[in-house]
Amino acid sequence: MPMPSRGPAPSRLPAMAIRIAPIAGILILWEIAALSGIWPRQVLVPLEQVGATLLALASDGELARHLSASLYRLASGFLVGSVIGVSTGAAMALSRNVHRLLWPTFSCVRQVPVIAFIPLLILFFDVEDSFKIVVVAMASFFPSALATHDAVRDIPESHREVARLYRMPTAPFLVRLILPATVPQVLTGLRLGLTRGWLSLVAAELLAADSGLGQMMEMGRQLFQIDVVLAGVFVTGLIGFLLDNSMVRVERHLSRWRTA
């Protein structure tokens, strides 16, 4: 069926403008306040200075160094944490004995915010890269394990009955039934894990690191360079947004069948 073209294009521009207007308004107020000199320029940095700092950091490779350090930790921690998390979650949901063995401990430890483990992890791993990777891994482990567990457990009994009825062997049972039925929920868990991982990583880097966005901001704080701190806040937020947004896209793409 041909789709009628709806929503004329011109109306989109004002809508976008309305959404951006409040943000632009705040930025303009900021700029006016910064230029008015009510507060010292050191405290309320004009926006162009933040921009200049950001450019400078970007061009001399400083930003790239911190950014790549952070992203490397995030990626490896998330990979480790989510792989272990998904398999643990699935194992707990599929096997009654694994559930009995791990679930009580899992639900206990889950109550502790990952941030609270940071001092302990510093004692164990020192402040090297491995410490931050473990923090990210822990932060992404719990949401992904929990989501996978719930997703597998929530597969309707009727699905399993169909599989039994057709005497489906284990491998196709996992690939063709468990996997598609659980994908959306697991992805939501992974997205949460990624967000938590990013949050915990920034905290860990603020606390103890020789590189990374968090460390860059912490150094900026110690040297009273608000422009560097603001640049850090901006990049941190941007990364957080991009991570979340891309995960949402992946989720939507892989869960098409739900609405289709």
Partner 1 sequence: MKRLASFALALAFPALVLGWWEWESRQGLGHAYAFAPLEQIARSFLEMLADGRLALHAGASLQRALTALLIGGTIGIVAGVATGLSRVLDRTASPLITVMRQVPILGWLPLVALWFGNGDGAKLLLVSLSAFYPTVLNTQKGMQAIEQRYAEVGRLYGFTRSQSLRMIAWPSALPLIFTGISQALAFAWIATIGVELLFSASAGLGTEMMAAQVAARTDIVLVCVACVGVMGFTLNQLFALLRTRLLRWQPATAK
Rule CB under 8 A: which of 198-227 touch partner 1? 198-199, 202-203, 206-207, 214, 217-218, 220-221, 224, 226
Per-residue binding string, partner 1, 159-198, x by CB under 8 A, is ---------------------------------------x
CA distance 50 to 47: 5
Give the closest residue to 215 by CA, choosing from 50, 56, 66. Answer: 66
Among the residue ranges 80-88, 96-104, 173-181, 248-256, the one whose residues contact partner 1 (CB under 8 A): 96-104
Per-residue binding string, partner 1, 129-158, x by CB under 8 A, is ------------------------------
Pick the closer one to partner 1 by CB: 172 or 237: 237
Number of residues that bind partner 1 (CB under 8 A): 52
Sign for the pseudo-dihedral over CA of 35, 39, 40, 42? negative
Per-residue binding string, partner 1, 36-75, x by CB under 8 A, is -------x--------------------------------
**Which member of 1, 13, 18, 171 binds partner 1 (CB under 8 A)?**
18
Q: List, as one string, the DSSP characters of 56-119.
A: HHHHTTHHHHHHHHHHHHHHHHHHHHHHHHHHHHHHHHH-HHHHHHHHHHHHHHTTS-GGGGHH
CA distance 136 to 78: 6
Give the closest residue to 198 by CA, choosing from 109, 252, 135, 110. Answer: 135
**Which member of 108, 165, 171, 260 binds partner 1 (CB under 8 A)?**
108
